[in-house]
Amino acid sequence: MKKPIFALTAVLFAIGTSAFTALHQSPTAKVYNQPLWYYTETSTAQEGDRTKYEPLVGQDELCPGNSAVRCVIEAPEYMSTGRPDLDNITSVVSFKP
């Protein structure tokens, strides 16, 4: 009779403990407050030209690189043009290889 009570107590303790454990968020689950934009060029020469950016849709936002060339930026839209406001970039999310 003691074994089922012990097992039940252990299960209830495990459930109760897990209810107060914080969930781990992955680093890729970051929430952005501004739209994300993909830089289409392969050099830094035209990073200041808003026509060289397009909304991030389907591109790899992580761009696993560490060059000086931007890959994805977070910035508000510039006056309903469908282009980023490069004067108010919130962050450079990633760089190209």
Q: Is the pTM of this model over 0.95?
A: no
The pLDDT value given to residue 61:
60
Kindly report the number of other CB atoms within 10 A of residue 14's CB atom: 10
Least confident range of 23-32, 36-45, 84-93:
23-32
The pLDDT value given to residue 10:
61
CA distance 22 to 89: 32
CA distance 93 to 35: 11
CA distance 19 to 16: 5
SS (H, E, C) 14-47: HHHHHHCCCCCCCHHHCCCCCCEEEECCCCHHHC
